[in-house]
Structure 1
Amino acid sequence: MKPTRLVLIPALAGEPAPWMIVAPDGAVLDRGLLTPHDGGRPEPMRTVAICPGADVSIRWLDLPPGGAAQLRAAAAWRLRDDLAATPDRVATVVGPPAGPDQPRLVAMVSHDLLQAWTDYLDTVGLPADVVTPDMLTLAEPDEDDVVQAVTFGENVALRGRGFAATVQPDLVDLVVGDRRVMAIENAAAVERALTRAALSPLVNLLDSGVRDRSIGRPGWRRAAGLAAALALSPLLLTAAAAARDDMAARRLEVETVEAIAAVAPDLARESDPVAALRRRAAAAPPPGGVTASAAALFTAVEAIEGVEIDAFLAAPDDGVRATLSHPGWSDMQELDRRMADAGMAVTENATLEDGGRVVSDISIGARP
């Protein structure tokens, strides 16, 4: 067997990319750093790229039997409410079965970001055969209450039983909960984990169809069939109705209310069911759940002078909420702009003045 090249994709394109040459038995034959300005073309060989896991969403899902494309479509449909992007902008890959009747690992990432990673690798002369996220270089621990942790750059990769995520250091305790964190700080142990991933990666994001962007709307229709889904989204129906004539709009309005009644009977009794559904969607946890919303909020708050987080709450009925203290009324506009860059929307539920500062109660949801 021939050796394998392992390369770590940096967070910024201008940073150097660490690489190793791994022998079939796991021994490291060579290592170094490479930048787009080095010139020359490295020796061609099988290349496995480790991408920043903070940009990849990992889930475990019970999926119906099917081929690779069908499994991807079914997984994308199951996670459709967790996505901040349209389906044709998301790359989905399903890992190998862990055993009979066991949930399947599903990884999702932005098509554009995955394409940017492959473009970067092409630029430095290391076209990848495999792209896999950093948290999946860690082995799943044997104990249910243990989470392994390794620092990659400014983030921490976490791996537990049926769990994998990469987060900022100050979010580790929030994400891990009651489980024990087992930090892997020994360089040799980290290198062994990376070489195992190079020789036998758990998933390959390039298997998601990013090269032909094959998910698209037909993929959603296949997914809908596999998942035995109800009907078209009421919000999509509403958007379509706006572009049709009055007769079609009336017909779609009836269909919308019927669809809402099928999935949320309590909303169907509202005077404006569509508006009620939008309010509920705005209060629902944003893509990535509590972890993503907390990370985006903390990052945005740190960038705005004088803004402080007094409370952060996630509840099934209220979604993700926070109470902020800030010096001026315009601070919420800046916060909304920064959260929009993360694909999230901020809704002000209440605002008042207290001791010369402004206190705002907000909800964080997916951006329409």
Structure 2
Amino acid sequence: MARTLVLWLPPAAMLGERVDAAWLRVDDGVIVDSGQDDGWVDAWEKPRDDEGDDRLIALAPAADVPLRWRHYPDAAPAQAAAIARVDTLRDSLGDAALLHVVAGQPADAGQAVPVAVTTHAAMAAWTDWLKEQGLSAVAIIPAAATVPPPEPDSLWSAELGREQILRSDDRSFISDPELDPLIAAGRPIAPLDADRMRQALLLSLAAPPLDLLTGAWQPRRNWAIDPALVRWMKRLAVALLAVTLLIPIIHAIRLNADIGRADGASVAAAKKAGVTATDAASAEAELDRRLAAAGGGPLAFSVPASALYDAMRDTPGVALKSLSHRTDGTLSTTLAAPRTEDLNAVLLALQARGYKITAQPMAGTDGNQMANITVRAVP
């Protein structure tokens, strides 16, 4: 349910006094309560049974905000509104910097443009008064703008809030018994029916002809995060954290499962070779032992020797002086090179392959650098 509180702003000249504002409450387009006292406080703060939209619309008094309608038949709506504002400023008395001129935008080309004129001082006084009441209006509509146009060659006199407003075909302003006949210039002044005025007011609330909260007085937008969005973001963060944790866990589970299957396959393959073992490590150790006894496997001469030759091939300045192999898989060699850095390159390459290296440097008789090196055949 949409609930709207309509509050008449006191005239700017009376803001320093104790003034009970006129008000009414509208629920879903129907006036349900009204008054000319401080009863709006209870009407506005009354608890609701549902979660509808609440909004406050303030009506600026016609005494401070007269209205005029200007016609520009050949101009587009936006262009007509801009021209109307400029023309009104030009025709207004006083310093233009002190005036707050607002032009509404007609729906179609050729329609009259409503233009309201007030002062920045009045706007400041009204906004301060609303803040003192703890209120924030979504719109400030000139009360004179809510009076509907009269019949041709006549004027309306309408009572709205605590004001009597006179409405002609192109103007709307506060009524003055002495000036009204002069302004009417022989045209009849008819009282506007209260029911018709009420319907026009409700239409103006639904589609305001213009809003004084524009330009310098446009409220700053307060960025508020929807609580539902916050809850959704929290849930998303928890889900992302859970996924982040589950990915390595699942990867570890799959890796362990693959290792288990590979170990099982190794044990089965060893069993076919006549090796009985409870796990892959035991089967590998037994196979290495049998290969060593037969002179093959990773303890064979060819394994560390091929690694040594590959490392030397990447360092052409290194020469092989002697080479021997023991049954435990250890390869002994003497290397010579013009520089110690060349020997170190070979040793680093062997270590990178996972072999355990020992080296004893010495000087050669021909000026080369030499080293006695042992290479463990099993990494």
Instruction: Return the TM-score normalized by structure 2.
Output: 0.47
User: Which structure has the larger Rg?
Assistant: 2
Higher relative contact order (CA 8 A, sep 6+): 1
User: Structure 1-normalised TM-score?
Assistant: 0.48
